[in-house]
Amino acid sequence: MNILLTGGAGFIGAHTVVELLNAGHTPIILDNFCNAHPNVLTRIKMITGVLPKLYQGDVRDRELLKRIFNENKIDSVIHFAALKAVGESVAQPLRYYDNNVSGSLILLEEMQQAGVKSIVFSSSATVYGEPKTMPINENFPTGATTNPYGTSKHMMERIMMDMQRAQPDWSVIILRYFNPIGAHASGKIGEQPNGIPNNLLPYVTQVAAGKLKELSIFGNDYPTADGTGVRDYIHVVDLAQGHVQALNVKAREAGTHIYNLGTGKGYSVLDIVQTFERETGQRVPYVFKERRAGDIAECYADPQKAWRELNWQAKRQLPEMIRDAWHWQKNNPNGYENETFQAA
């Protein structure tokens, strides 16, 4: 299939491009590089031998979307393009709603115009808010989000469900990711956050690399085994393969299809620090701080539905996730900055 990936140069997008190529599909990337580096394309070529087709531009640019749909016979779109920093979304809600909600609406309208009726949407476990019990399955209530980023994801889920009801021949696949970490085993592509990382794993790798002094652990008084927050960390390559599998199984089946993509296992912040130190031999100094506003004690998936219906399950365990994240950080202290990108 010819797959358009909005945000395809980003962390999850780039890994999905590689897995699509491995599975014999043709990925086409649309990215404005607001949170990505063009050199990711040359890195993808190093891994796969293929330099994917790129349109540099914004998902809110209707003319560009029209051109992409005219120039390519797109079978399905994976819509990654979004802003994703939770704290920033609280400070800049309009920017987040414009990018994440208006951007998605424009994309859906142009898909409709072009007769492309299959979309995979990057949603998030954040749409579940603070569930009363664990693990979280897809029937749990959604919408009690605590920040504009999460609300933008929930809004888009609702909008796409309404649209699919009105246009029953569409296939809408909503994938709710848990906590993606790790990097491609080659060490060629990985996560490169701008500035000081918000997420745990990139922060830990930068502490271990000596770029940051120490990790602040947000809260050690949660009702969890060791008092620190518990999350369902999933290797980004498993996540990417989940997209390929969802497309293979559901892209041609009309309906709204919703799946959790997680491992089903929860690990605490201290589990992450200890596993990191054991697997890499690096020390990760840390201090305990107050809980971070909006955080919940624990969050992990019931991943059975994806296993049952998509025949997909995460294969990589935490030590491999951590080794791959460290391999990427060690090999690329300056991320993608090293080579100069050359277009095809």
Of 27, 52, 103, 219, the one binding ligand NAD (CB under 6 A) is 103
276 touches ligand WQD by CB under 6 A: no
122 touches ligand NAD by CB under 6 A: yes
Q: Pick between residue 218 and residue 341 the one whose CB is nearest to ligand WQD.
A: 218
For residue 325, what are the contacts with CB-CB under 8 A and spacing of at least 6?
Answer: 181, 182, 183, 190, 191, 201, 202, 205
Residue 329, classed as helix, strand or coil, is: helix
* Shortest distance in whole angstroms from residue 289 CB to ligand WQD: 8
Side-chain-side CA neighbours of residue 83 (13 Å): 27
| Residue in the shown chain whose Cβ atom is closest to ligand NAD | 10
Strands 179-181 and 233-235 come out as parallel
- Tell me if residue 336 is catalytic: no
Residue 94 structure tokens? 């309009």
313 touches ligand WQD by CB under 6 A: no
Angle at 121 between CA 118 and CA 123, to 5 degrees: 160
Of 3, 20, 31, 234, the one binding ligand NAD (CB under 6 A) is 31
Of 3, 4, 5, 13, the one binding ligand NAD (CB under 6 A) is 13
Percent helix, strand and coil across the chain, each to the nearest 5: 40, 20, 40
Say how far apart CA 164 and CA 307 lie, in whole Å: 24
Q: In the range 112-171, which residues lie near ligand WQD by CB under 6 A?
A: 124, 126, 150
Q: Pick between residue 254 and residue 305 the one whose CB is nearest to ligand NAD.
A: 305
Phi, psi at 337, each rounded to 5° = -70, -15
- Answer yes or no: are the C-beta atoms of 200 and 147 closer than 8 Å: no
Q: Which does 33 bind (CB under 5 to 8 A by kind): ligand NAD, ligand WQD, none?
A: ligand NAD
Say how far apart CA 207 and CA 202 lie, in whole Å: 9
Strands laid side by side in the 255-261 sheet: 53-56, 26-31, 2-6, 76-79, 118-124, 171-177, 255-261
Q: Pick between residue 30 and residue 200 the one whose CB is nearest to ligand WQD.
A: 200
Of 23, 58, 140, 218, the one binding ligand NAD (CB under 6 A) is 58
Range in contact with ligand WQD (rule: CB under 6 A) among 47-55, 64-72, 100-108, 216-224: 216-224
231 touches ligand WQD by CB under 6 A: yes
* Shortest distance in whole angstroms from residue 104 CB to ligand NAD: 9
Say how far apart CA 74 and CA 138 lie, in whole Å: 29
Q: Could you list the residues that contact ligand NAD (CB under 6 A)? A: 6-7, 9-13, 30-36, 58-60, 80-84, 99, 103, 122, 124, 177, 179-180
Binding stretches for ligand WQD (CB under 6 A): 84, 86, 124, 126, 150, 179, 198-200, 203, 215-218, 229, 231, 269, 292, 295
